[in-house]
Structure 1
Amino acid sequence: MHSYQFLWLAHHWHHSIESLPLWWLSGQRTSFTSQFLFKFVFIWFPLLSIPPEVMIFVVLHHTVNLNWIHLNVKRNSWMRIVEWVYNTPNFHAVHHYYPDGKNLCAMFTFFDRIFGTYVDPDTIDYSKEQFGLDGEPVTVRMIVGI
């Protein structure tokens, strides 16, 4: 959603948060276009005859993960270990510092290491880095995602 103009317009509003800490509702700040794109994926479950139980699990996991990565929690030592595989709030905060595309993976962090988009959260000085969209005002177009 960061590499293609249409997808960036759909995702842009999510990055308009300008202050730390992130909070769990930050994950819910998505444009109408983004909501449509993510909900559209679930149409394939019945078309591919995937059992409803699997769809329920996937939807619940997606919802919990979205809220988890936007939580305002202090980093614990166990999170560093988890970050080798799974996204954590600290890992995802880096994503909001680099809207041009760092720590892009929403769930499995090893993809960022493979594709060169990984930034170690321990190397970020949060007081000196730019956060959000550099004061860009929120508009109706941003909320709609066009």
Structure 2
Amino acid sequence: MPAFSAYNFLRNCNYFLETPNQAARLSLDSAVSPTLSNGNLRKQRSEKRPIPEEQKDDKYFERRRRNNQAAKKSRDARKIREDQIALKATILEHENALLRAQVVTLREEASSLRQMLLQRKPFDHLPPTSHSP
């Protein structure tokens, strides 16, 4: 087994795969009535209503700026998680291939040893060994 295993790598990089508020988010999501969309459960969005120009003050633009930053941060974090999952899959596929090759080698060795045992003559014809003190 190599010193650098997929398990150790992924255990160290686990923070990319989970978010700190995952448990809280799961409990909040279950409280919202979900709708079925493309096989995924999602909360239903309210109808989009445009904000009239006269109501777009500094507070509105600041909220929009913060929301845009949060959306970008969320997209970036999702991209990192997806990249980590892809890396995890690649590492596990490689490790799986190595393990399968090792299984083949060990099976061949076991078969060879079985054949050697079957071809071996019994010990009955061997002269007794002397045990000297």
TM range (shorter): under 0.3
Larger helix proportion, structure 1 or 2? 2
TM-score with structure 1 length normalisation? 0.21
TM-score with structure 2 length normalisation? 0.22
